Amino acid sequence: MSDIQSIKQRFGIIGLSPQLDRAIDIARQVAPTDLTVLITGESGTGKEIFPKIIHHFSSRKHGPFIAVNCGAIPEGTIDSELFGHEKGSFTGAHEARKGYFEVVNGGTIFLDEVAELPLSTQVRLLRVLESGEFMRVGSSKVIKTDVRVVAATNVNLTEAIANGKFREDLYYRLNTVPVPIPPLRQRKEDIILLFRKFVTDVAEKYRMPVLELTEEATHMLKSYRWSGNVRQLKNIAEQISIIEQNRMVTPEVLQKYLQDQGTTELPVLYKQFGGNEGLTERELLYKVLFDMKKDVTEMKKLVAEIISATGINPADVGASDHSLNEIRPYDKDIPYYQEPKYEKEVIRVDNDDVQDKEDLPIDYHEEIEETLSLEKKEKEMIIRALEKHGGRRKNAAAELGISERTLYRKIKEYEITQ
């Protein structure tokens, strides 16, 4: 534990969360090896610190270290940046150039946002990881390199593989040792520590009084979802420190800076937030509707119990030709679902026998109507979303909380024309 504390002090890590300590401990233990490490976690959790920890405690600590943001390099030049190129290999290549894997030979390379790599580059990276060999763009000469690779991503690579955006063999090569970084909402004990650190830094830098939190504001900070994690918390702490004149932060003050986002950890039907992981969008919709059906069924049971206890016929309550004073006793000898109806509806059963709908059990009617209702509601929601966004499927999919690919499938399934 003392080693973890010293690492926190050296790299400026603040937090008492057991999950955070576990991530630091894994990084410390894997550092002396040459195993490839994959750091996963949401954006803003501080993933960029862990490659530095691994490099510092490795046998390569005196070698070069370089961090590459794969998402910030254009697809057309990413191969040249990583593996170098020969003179004249493409327009603008006026001279030969070494890539990062050649420059960092004997050191550590950190590939941030590795999921953003094009598939063609992923093939090249896989070869480097397997054999330590690569070729410059425009060259047929094989170059050897000895580089420790640490990668990071905030993308669910399992889903990326299923969508054909990431190679499965590369995933297993990168994920030799996984280091998951917990989101801030799972580190509630660290939220106030981090907030105080950020406001203290601002106060010292600009020579102003330090912010203080009321008890209610403290609770509000802890209950907030923090979708942007530590980065978002730091931004808000700095904003309040600079803008607010009153140095006592109340919930009313916090609300001004959090008003555009949810302030509590309410359940959400979205695959990213857990609790419903493994369910498709359709299954999530059905789950909500079936829960509603369960509530309605329970309400029906309650009404039936009231009817049984009071002896009132619900068919007479509110009838247009009866006042409340004229409600007649309910005849318990007549089953409720056989009460006379003003209109007779004929349906076909098994595509063969024609029966009166009123002669069928209530449960049968409900099953037919609600099953049809589910698909009808889903279709209506899709049509409304498409109309709202002028047929733009990407925006409609975001509105519905489903992937664009799923929306395409639904449009085809329900034969929706735009």
Q: Which fold has domain 185-258?
A: Helicase, Ruva Protein; domain 3 (1.10.8)
pLDDT band at 264 (very low <50, low <70, confident <90, very high): low
What is the end-to-end Cα distance of the chain in Å, rounded? 61
Determine the 3-state secondary structure of 248 from DSSP: strand
Q: Classify each residue of 171-180 as buried b or exposed e, where b means 16 or more C-beta atoms within 10 Å of its C-beta.
A: bebbeebebe
Task: Please tell me the distance from the alpha carbon of residue 58 to that of residue 56, in angstroms, as a whole number.
Answer: 6
What's the mean pLDDT in 339-348?
45
Q: If pLDDT is split at 50, 70 and 90, which confidence band does 226 have? A: very high
Q: Quote the strand ranges of 195-296, DSSP E.
A: 212-213, 248-249
Distance, CA of 225 to CA of 199 (rounded, Å): 20
CA torsion 289→291→292→295, rounded to 10°? 160
Residue 373's pLDDT is what? 63
pLDDT digits (tens, 9 = 90+) for 308-335: 776 666 555 544 444 444 444 444 444 4
Under 8 Å between Cβ of 232 and 44: yes
- For residue 314, the model assigns a pLDDT of 54
The pLDDT value recorded for residue 336 is: 43
Q: What percent of the chain has pLDDT over 90?
A: 59
Does the pLDDT value for residue 169 go beyond 50?
yes
- Residues 6 or more apart whose Cβ sits within 8 Å of residue 416: 379, 382, 383, 386, 410
Give me 170's structure tokens.
Answer: 């590369």
Q: Which residue has the higher pLDDT, 69 or 403?
A: 69
As a three-state string, the secondary structure of 148-166 is: EEEEEECCCHHHHHHCCCC
Per-residue pLDDT reduced to its tens digit, 269-303: 444 444 444 455 556 666 677 677 777 777 777 77
Task: For residues 98 and 80, give the distance between their C-alpha atoms in angstroms, rounded to a whole number.
Answer: 8
By percentage, how much of the chain surpasses pLDDT 70? 77
At residue 259, the pLDDT reads 64
**Cα(25)–Cα(369) distance, integer angstroms:** 57
Per-residue pLDDT tens over the stretch 102-151? 999 999 999 999 999 999 999 999 999 999 999 999 999 999 999 999 99
Q: Which two tokens stand for residue 213?
A: 């939190």
**pLDDT value of residue 341:** 45
Average pLDDT over residues 183-201: 96
Could you give the CA distance from residue 23 to residue 4 in angstroms, rounded to a whole number? 10
Architecture of domain 2-182: 3-Layer(aba) Sandwich (3.40)
Report the C-alpha gap between 314 and 307 in whole angstroms. Answer: 7
* Confidence at 24, pLDDT banded by 50, 70, 90: very high
CA atoms within a 13 Å half-sphere pointing along the CA-CB vector of 49 = 20
363-378: per-residue pLDDT in tens?
444 444 444 567 778 8
> 320 is written with which tokens?
């247009």
Half-sphere exposure of 375 (CA within 13 A, CB side): 11
Q: Which of 19-28, 47-56, 262-271 has the lowest mean pLDDT?
A: 262-271
The pLDDT value recorded for residue 177 is 97
| Cα separation, 220 vs 199, whole angstroms | 17
Question: Which is it for strands 353-356 and 346-349: parallel, antiparallel or unpaired?
Answer: antiparallel
Residue ranges of the domains in the chain? Answer: 2-182, 185-258
Token pair, residue 128, equals: 């480097």
